[in-house]
Amino acid sequence: MAFKIFGKVNFTPYTKVERFAEELRDNKLMGTKCKKCGEVYFPPRADCTKCMSDEMEWRSYSGRGKLVTFTTIHAAPTGFDDIAPYTIGVVDLEEGGRLLAWVEGIKPEELKIGMELRAIPQIMEDVEELKVVYVLRK
């Protein structure tokens, strides 16, 4: 049910990480932590890749993180060419994990590696092909 927000084709209607999609609807980011070895995952995983345990617990994420890298896309792929140029960035989240997102409200020349940003999930109700995006803001 909730995973439909990721696109119009849904192959995983019922999973152990469905809560992730449900929380995104409320603009909340969630990750998981292995109860056995303590490994942290974002996006969440149902099973730990480190120790193979299926004993995972949910963790709330603030969305705060530090910019690792970014790029401005001038020659965009089909479907995105009408919005080029646009900037995307990768942040290391405070709670663990990395996230790729659109940079919003910050000029490329203002971006600095290591700067603190906040990732915010957005549901795009008016776009059929892409329904969830993340944006990075100061």
Q: Which residue type is seen at 39?
A: E
The verdict on 84 and 111 lying in the same domain is yes
The verdict on 107 and 133 lying in the same domain is yes
> Exposed, middle or buried: residue 27 (CB in 10 Å: 0-12, 13-18, 19+)?
exposed
pLDDT digits (tens, 9 = 90+) for 17-63: 778 878 887 888 999 999 999 999 998 998 999 999 999 999 999 99
The verdict on 116 and 100 lying in the same domain is yes
pLDDT digits (tens, 9 = 90+) for 63-112: 999 999 999 999 999 888 888 999 999 999 999 999 999 999 999 999 99
The pairing of beta strand 98-103 with beta strand 86-93: antiparallel
The verdict on 6 and 68 lying in the same domain is no
The verdict on 57 and 69 lying in the same domain is no
The verdict on 69 and 79 lying in the same domain is yes
The verdict on 67 and 111 lying in the same domain is yes
The verdict on 15 and 49 lying in the same domain is yes
The verdict on 94 and 45 lying in the same domain is no
The pairing of beta strand 64-73 with beta strand 116-123: antiparallel
Domain that holds residue 42: 1-61
Q: Which residue type is seen at 75?
A: A
| DSSP string computed for 79-137 | TTTTT-SEEEEEEEETTS-EEEEEE-S--GGG--TT-EEEEEEEE-TT-SS--EEEEEE
Domain count, the chain: 2
The verdict on 96 and 52 lying in the same domain is no
The verdict on 101 and 132 lying in the same domain is yes
